[in-house]
Structure formats: C-alpha cells, structure tokens
Chains A and B, each alone.
Chain A
Amino acid sequence: MTTQSDQPVLEARDLIKHFPVHRLRRRLRGRAEVVHAVDDVTLTLRSGEVTALVGESGSGKSTIARLLAGLYPVTSGTIEIDGATARGTRGRHFREHVRRVQLVFQDPFGSLNPIHTIAYHLRRPLKVHGYPTTRAALVELLEQVNLTPAEQFLTKFPHELSGGQLQRIAIARALAAKPKVLLADEPVSMLDVSIRLGILNLLAGLVKSLDLAMLYITHDIASARYFASTTLVMYAGRVIEGGPSEELVQQPAHPYTRLLLESAPDPDRAGTGPDLLDAGEPPSLVDPPAGCRFHPRCPHAMDICRTEAPGTTELRPGHWTKCWLYSASTEPVPAR
C-alpha cells in the first residue's frame, strides 16, 4: 500500500473477534448471541513507522490491540510476524509471540500492580524472556524512557509516582522484552494535557532509535495526525478508512471520518461549531446494523448501504475507504 519497499513486521489479515454473551446460558437456550467486536480487519505495521488506529470507545480498537498482543484468541483471521503465523494465546508459542509484540495500556495507575516495586515490574519481563536482570539492565531501561536518576525509581511503589512517570515505567516494561512491535492503547488519554506530548515524543523517539513498528490507538484524531504517518479509522468493529495521516485529515472521504473531524475540538473554529444535534450514537455490536454499520447515522445513506457492506475503494495511492459513495468512481464526494 505504501511505496516503501521494506517488509512489514506485523501483518494481520481479515481479523474477526466475536465475544459470546453469557456463554453457558445462551448455549443452553440454543441461541449463540455474540458481540461483533472486530469484523474483517486487515492491517500492516512496518519498522520505524507509527500507524494510528482512531475510533470511539466501543469501536473495537482496544480489542484489536489485545488480539495482536496475543491476549485474546482470534475468532478467525491470521496474524503474521516477520512472515510467520502467530499461534496460541498460552504456553511457549505465546511467550515467543509476546517477546516480539508488546502492549502499553491506557491507565498507568491501573497497569502496574500496587503491591510490587518498580524494580519488580522491570525485572519480571527480563527474567521471563531470558535476559540478564542485573541492576544495570534495569537502570538502562529506565534511562531509555528518560527517568533519571534511575536508581531512585527502582525501590519505589507505583502509588509514589505521578501518572506520567508511571506511564514511562509501563513503556520501559514493554521495552524490556526487546520487542519489534509496540502496541500503545490510548497511552496518553488518562494523563494530564501538559504531559501528554512528553510521552508521545518519547514514543516517537523510541520508534526511530529502536526501529520499532508501532500501533498507536487513540480517540483523538488530531494526535494521530501529529504522531502517525498512517491513520486508520474504525467504526463499530470495522476499519472504514485508511491512508496517510495528513491526507486523511485534510481530505476525509468516509462520512464518519468527516463527522469525527467536525466533532473534534478546534480552537480555530468560531462559535460552537457545526450543528451535530442529530448525529445519533454508535450501534449495539450484539446486533449491528446490516450493510454499512454507519448507515443509520449517515446523511448520505442510500438503499444499498442498508443491505450490503461496502468493499474497499482505493481513492489515491495508500488512501482507501469502505463506502458506497466511492465505489463507482474514485472521485471523492465533496463534504456537505
């Protein structure tokens, strides 16, 4: 999709994840209801590049992170790392997988165990993946995330540190496994505004210096533009548009992407912005709308949108969308 020639580090194809609702009881009643958390998602991560995955809460973006991290088994689809298919969410294959793919969580206060010291949190991944757990190794990890003087952090407990410091520890823990892929699930949304950029800039630096492939998951499309070279937009379990971040933000194609951009806070906009009173709310994923899942909220919905899910249309090299408005021609319909 991009012009770069290097091989992708991680490739996920046609990922589907359905969560059963009330397993036992439903099975007894012969009706297997599922949450269609992720449907038909394909994505590629490359070394030294940040790919952003933008969506609202409940759109399935965090589920994708957990699928890629091997924490949940996929319902169907494949995840390949360096060309080899990942197998299993437990045992030896799983550890082999997580050594290469690491996850940073949203809530720094919740992702560190309150009863363990910082040193413990850093020592464990080193030990699990067979690296030396010397003090020097721990210090090196902390210095990688700009926590200095490193020594003073080792004996601390999580509650003694600020949110920004904790998130740096969490990143250091992810780096301890020396991964090739770093998945960051809303890594700054729980942090104070003034320190968010510090963390984002740190991650950007790590991507360059360690040649990491990174998936940046966020609900803030402006930060995706700032931070990622490629952006994917998710809605109700499906990726509906993808492309170079700048182009996607300046020339959004899918009506949902446009809605998202119109809704984002923008100090340059006068007044209260566009009237979005009737834009509705995302659908239930237990019983998602047929056809295009955005059609109940879409101002441009046509008959076909209600019955058939749109396929992928390439608008320009690397910029594509799944929308019937574009399926006939590649000319974008002007925004309303």
Chain B
Amino acid sequence: MAVQAVAGATPEPAARPEAVAARRSWFAGLRSAKTITGLAILGVFVVAGAFGPMVWRTDPSALSDDVLQPPSGAHWFGTTQTGQDIFAQVLVGTRVSLLVGVTAAVMATVLSLIVGLTAGYVGGLTDELLSALANVFLVIPALPLVVVLAGYLPTRGSLTVAVVISLTGWSWGARILRAQTLSIRRRDFIEAARATGERPARILLFEILPNEMAIVASSFLFTIVFAILTQAGLAFLGLSDVTTWSWGGILYWAQNNQALQSGAWWWFVPPGLCIALIGTALAFVNFGIDEYVNPRLRVRGFHPRKSRRVRRTAPKQVVQDAGAAGDVLLEVTGLRVDYGDGPNAVHAVDGVDLVLRRGEVLGVAGESGSGKSTLAYAITRLLRPPGQVVAGEIRYWPTSAGPVDVLKMSDAELRAFRWAQLAIVFQSAMNSLNPVLRLREQLGDALIDHGPGMTPGQRQKRIAEVMTMVGLPTDRADAYPHELSGGMRQRALIAMALVLEPDILVLDEPTTALDVVVQRQILTKIMNLREQLGFAVVFITHDLSLLIEVADRIAVMYAGRIIETSTAKQLYEAPRHPYSDGLLHSFPLLHGPRRVLTGIPGAPPDLRLRSAGCAFQPRCTQAMAACTTTIPLLSATNLPTEAPDHQVACLLYQDGEGR
C-alpha cells in the first residue's frame, strides 16, 4: 500500500499517533495469528475448489461396488451406499458451495451498498423508507422465507439459489452501511467537499465509499458464510438441485440414506467440517478487519484488576526534603511513563518531580504531547497498557502517618485510597457519567463500597449534601445523565468527586468542553468549595491564562518534562523559559494595546522523535549550540533576585553546562 510506504519513508511530526497506528494496523491486523490462520484455510479451500476436481479425477457420481467403505488409500473419505467416492464429492462440493457463497455475497453486497449508501446519503423520506425496507427483511426469519421462495422455483440451479439467498441476505449489510454512511456524512470532510463545489455522486463514490471499504469487506465475508450455511440448509431440505454436488447436497444424501444409523460417519462428517472450517476462516479474517475498524479491540494484555505496579525503581532524586515542611500532601519524584516497550517506547512523562501542598491549587499547563494528561493518569494509577510507569515514586502523606507510595499499593489498598483520598474529574462530563444509571446510584455507590456501616438514610443525606454543595437541585438525583445540561453534568461529576471528602482533587481539563460563561461558573464553584473544604487541587489544562487566575503555583510541561515551575504571579510577571514566555504571549488580551502577537513558531513536539538536547530547541528563538546536545534540568535560576521556588529547565539560566 502506498500509504504505508509514505508513512514509513519520512517520519514527520504527527499530532495524532493513533491515526498513524490505525493505518498501520491494516498490516498489524493481517499479521495477527488468527487472520493468518484464516487466510491460510481460505487459501486451501480456494485451491481445492479450483483445481481439486482436475487433479482428483474420480467422477463423484460414478457408482462402484465399494459400498459404504470407511476411509482408505483409494477412497480418502470413504464411499457412499452406492459406492461413490466421497472425497471427489467434497472437492466438487467445495467448488459449488464457494461459488454459491461468493455469487450470493457479491449480489447481496451490491444490493446493500445501493440501499445503504442511498439511504444514508440522501436522508429524509428516502432514508425512512429504505431503512424500513431493510429492517423488515432483517426481522423476517431468512430460512423459512428462502424455503418458500425456493419451493416455488421452477429450476433450482446453483445460480438461482444464490439469487434467492442474496434476496434475504442483503439487509444486514445495508443497515450497517447506512449507519456508517450517515456517520461519515456528518464528518467535516464531507461538508468540506460540498463547500468545494463537488457533485453529490462524486462525494458518494470518492469521499464516502472508500472510507467504508473495511466494513463492506467485513459484511461481504459475513454474507459468504451466511450464503454457504443457507445453501447447505436448503440442500439438506432437498430444496436445491441435489444432483449437483454441494456440501449440503452430500449431507442430504447422507441423511436420506440413513448414514447415521449405519454408522457411516465418514459420509456426513467431511462436508459439515468443511462448512465449519470455512466459516471459521472467514470469521478469523473478519476479526482482523474488526480490529482495524475498532482499534480498541487491538490492545492486548489489558487486565483492569491487575493494575501494574512499577517494574523498577530509579534512584531517588528528591529535589528537596519535602516531608520536613509538614504541609506536603503529594510528592511525585522522578516519575517516568512510557508507552510501549523497548527501544521504540515513547517517553510520555520523562522524569517529573512535583510537590502538592495541603489546600493549594497546583496548575499543570501544557499542550498536546506535553504529557500532562498522562501525568494525571499516572498519579491516579489509571494508565492502561501500553502506557506504564517505569520509574519514580508518588508519595502520599496522610495527616497522621508517614508517607505511602501510591505506586506500590496493593489492589485493595489502592481501591481504599482512591476517591477517599484522591478524586478526579475528567474533561468530558457526558462521557464520564454512566448513561444507564441514575445520578443517585452513581453518587451513592462510592459510599457503599468505601463506607461500610453507612445506613441508606445516611447515604441519601450525604448525596443531598454534595448536590446542594455544587448547586444541583436535589430533585435531580433521580435523573439520568442525558436529562441534564452540560453544566449540570459537570457539577454532578464534581459532586461525585467530593462525596468522600478527598484530600486531593485532580481536574483534567474540567471545563474545556464547556462554554465560556458556564466554565466560569464551574470554576468559581470549585474554588469556593476548596476554600470551604480545604482540599488541594491539581488543575491540568492547556489554558495557561486560566491557570494564572486560579492557581497558586504552576508547573509548565513540554515534551514530558516540567520546564518551569513557580508561583502563578511570578510566572505571569517574569516567565523565564522561552516556551512559557511564548505561551503567555500567545493569548490575545482584552485590555491594553492591540499589538501583533507572534505565538511560537513550529509545531508541538512529536514524542516519538527523541532529541539529544532540549525538546523545545527546534522552536526556540534563543537556542544556543549547547541546546542541541544538553538536556537542561529543572533547577533554580542564576538570577540573583529570583525567588528560590522559581525553577527553570533552560540553559539560559544555568551557569556552566547542564549535566
């Protein structure tokens, strides 16, 4: 494929590695053991059907005196009651059954393409009628209908049977193609093609159809299996031309001649086995296609009950003796997270040190590829393979006892720690709520699993409490998520996070999906609650201007590292790192002179390309020679007037060379 060749030739910064992965999975899918097995079996049958009868020249209908012989050298699959060679029958049967299957599948697929594409693209009344038609054919059980149809056929040759089968087998494909067409039609690139001035027919054939090929293929293979099975069923009933040898035809004669009762297993076992094998083979190929269409099916080795712990611990790099200060709540040291294993592993978080103090708002700012979300997932131990923590410690300091390493907790300890001490609010409120459970259940289940001994009455009281706290009317407790507005859903999530009064609240872009006004309301609410309840907040966002308003301290991330950290005020007034400085000057302001802002040249980093020096160096206007060879470490600056807690990872502020 040309796509693969291009992708392999020049590694260019790609913002969406998963898109690349999806393309490459064509091959990954084909490389999987199941798909290869499937293709191999399929190949054997195709060769056997195409050339078998030419090589094994025994006439399948020829009678002989070797009656009901078990398999032998002369008759590999034995003989029938009239001495016919079963192997010869099966070879011809392979050809006939495959032909019927493929013919029916071709016709059914063409039919389903016409109906599915038209319904999905034209929409409106056409769609309603065509989908109703497809659904009617889907609901009417196929076999009895085929039986009636075949019963009235004047001739029952293979082609006619294939036509009859395709008439009942097109509706499933039409249904999924319609759904697919509808969803593609809503994609921007279709509207963009229209806006370009493209004609509808061209959009349908050149923009939509190529994007559906995987599903067409899958539906095609599925229909082959359906057709082969249906043909076998018809033949078994005697409703196809049983003088033409097909797998079903062989079974028909075996059944009618009491093969079972005479113990002639070799008569009915081979044809059925062939059907089962070819069905399995096609299903295996379809698994590969499924994994291509739905990449989530591809990830292996995932097992949520066994959240992986750190494999090896790097030497401790404690920046400062945080515990001594007494108000430290969470301390991250030397945290490294990789996606994948070995030399191709992507270092999404690459040696991060962070301290969260009691009751403070710590802002983590970064763009795509900065590792900020990975950091949130690592702290909460929600990373899923291929993501894994490869080094570092995450120490939590309870009020009374000494610190515990979150990464070393057992599953039970982790469950107890979660939500009670550390809660998280995700970006998309709609996706974070279970669509089929009432709010009350989703707010209450953490109370059941964490707070043994709480009476139902106490739980209801607590639920009402947190709802009031976030400004949700308590009568919404029995609502389902889809009955709430976007702002209310986000409030529900915050209420949920507060239900066990955690020490730490991790907010992963909590307001990005919301409108400016609602976003402001929610933020104000969170900050008021923090003052009231005293929890600490880790606020992760791409919006540095927002953080400057709400955070006490800010850590700016770039390419998996923290490149600057200081109080929000210092960062705003005197950003040191060229990246922080550039980011701060990327926001148009509401006040002050309207001057030309430049942003930062270049594109966000591609983590797959590891550089020997500072990751920001290619975009940096102040880069020096040393920047290409030295990775600067986060440390205090060499500026005499700088506050001691203002740390920067940039050679501009370091005396001599970084390590």
Contact = CB atoms under 8 A, between A and B. Distances in A.
Interface of A: 23-24, 56-57, 66, 69-71, 90, 94-95, 98-99, 102-103, 105-107, 109-116, 124-125, 128-129, 152, 155-165, 170, 173-174, 177, 192-198, 201, 219-223, 225-227, 246, 249, 259-269, 271-273, 275-277, 279, 281-282
Given A109-B15, A157-B3, A196-B599, 20 more contacts: A24-B128, A109-B16, A113-B193, A114-B189, A155-B6, A157-B7, A158-B19, A159-B14, A160-B20, A161-B12, A161-B15, A163-B368, A165-B603, A173-B192, A195-B603, A197-B588, A222-B589, A265-B546, A267-B548, A276-B517
A115 to B, nearest CB: 5
Interface residues of B, number: 78
Nearest to B471: A277
Interface string B502-531: 000000000000011111110111011000
A246 B589 CA distance: 11
Contact of B197 (A114, A177, A275): A177
Nearest to A222: B588
B549 A266 contact: yes
Contacts of A113: 189, 193, 207, 211
Contacts of B471: 277
A259 B517 contact: yes
Interface stretch (B27-35, B91-99, B421-429, B590-598): B590-598
B212 to A, nearest CB: 10
Contact of A268 (B544, B583, B591): B591
Contact of B524 (A24, A159, A177, A273): A273
B582 interface: yes
Given A109-B16, A279-B521, A267 B572 contact: yes
A66 B19 CA distance: 28
B83 interface: no
Contact of B14 (A71, A161, A173, A277): A161
B326 interface: no
Nearest to A94: B197
Contacts of B197: 94-95, 98-99, 125, 128-129, 177
A193 B586 contact: yes
For the complex of A and B, the 5 pairs showing the least CB-CB separation, nearest first, are A197-B599, A226-B588, A159-B19, A263-B520, A194-B600
Contacts of A111: 188-189, 191-192
14 contacts: A69-B195, A95-B197, A99-B197, A114-B189, A160-B7, A164-B603, A196-B586, A197-B598, A198-B599, A198-B600, A222-B588, A226-B597, A266-B545, A277-B471
Given A23-B124, A159-B19, A195 B599 contact: yes
Contact of A267 (B211, B549, B582, B601): B549
B521 A225 contact: no
Contacts of A116: 207
B106 interface: no
A194 B543 contact: no
A225 to B, nearest CB: 6
B195 A195 contact: no
A9 to B, nearest CB: 17
Given A115-B211, A223-B588, A269 B516 contact: no
Given A155-B6, A267-B549, A272-B523, A160 B588 contact: no
B198 interface: yes
A194 B527 CA distance: 27
A192 B586 CA distance: 10
A267 B544 CA distance: 9
Contacts of B584: 267
A163 B13 CA distance: 10
Contacts of A156: 6, 12
Given A94-B197, A194-B582, A112 B516 contact: no
Interface in B576-619: 579, 582-584, 586-591, 594, 596-604
A124 B198 contact: yes
Q: Identify which of B20, B22, B597 gathers the most chain A CB atoms within 10 Å of its CB.
A: B597
B191 A192 contact: no
Contacts of A272: 523-524, 527-528, 549-550
A84 B490 CA distance: 47
Given A156-B6, A160-B12, A275 B524 contact: yes
A23 B6 CA distance: 46
